[in-house]
Copies of this chain bind each other. A is one copy, B any other.
């Protein structure tokens, strides 16, 4: 009744702007699409498009179908790929979602031994999700979520794999460089460099600056850790990063880590999976490996 082809047509017409153009992409004729959709409209008893002049505008029903298509087609397409992977003897693809910028460096350390141990599993890392990491897990967009922000909900399972301290990184020439720790007000005249994330999600804001009612002089956003640390080393600002990351770079660049507040900011990284995937061997193995890597 409602078939995959209908969803494909609705999606492609939306992308291409016309039946004719969509037909080209789908390797069919305009006539074929027209007939297919006409039949569907008749069966369902409702129009999908309003014929306005020589173009089509989605009806409410059509919009509904479009949303359905955008949601289901990727899952079907992925399924086909997945089946072909099985055919090649591969186990599948482990799709990892990252909700935590600096975790990327840590992840790399886990992924390389993992790939060696599981030659028939591919790893794919995604960083952008329409509905956030949790949503991506729920809708099977990813299989594993790396996040500092776990969520104990039915259907999902989170496990801490790594503890670390979030520290301030400053240039070795910085006035604060020798201090045992920094207080919030010492940052009021600094340029703070962070990853491009909503402010509320930054620990240095909600656990350090905000409680003290302090704002930095300026806030700069930078995508990559390397450049961020280059900037810090050059005295262009300060950044908040995991201590292990800061120490790794301390050899190469003129940067030093500083404790945030007297007690420091303690953080954890969690791995989240769907409960129903809990006994997939190659997934379990990844979590296990991550935990070991964290200890080493």
A-to-B contact residues, CB < 8 Å = 1-4, 44-46, 59-61, 64-65, 67-68, 71-72, 75-76, 79-80, 82-84, 86-88, 129-132, 134-135, 138-140, 151, 153-156, 275-276
Contact = CB atoms under 8 A, between A and B. Distances in A.
A9 to B, nearest CB: 14
B130 A155 contact: yes
17 contacts: A2-B80, A2-B83, A3-B4, A44-B80, A45-B83, A61-B83, A61-B86, A61-B87, A68-B76, A68-B79, A71-B140, A72-B75, A134-B138, A134-B153, A135-B154, A139-B139, A151-B151
Contacts of A60: 86
Contacts of A46: 83-84, 86-87
A214 to B, nearest CB: 24
Contacts of A140: 71
Given A3-B3, A4-B3, A83 B65 contact: yes
Contacts of A1: 80
Contacts of A156: 131, 135
The 10 closest A-B pairs by CB, nearest first: A131-B155, A45-B87, A132-B154, A138-B138, A46-B87, A44-B83, A61-B86, A135-B155, A46-B86, A2-B80
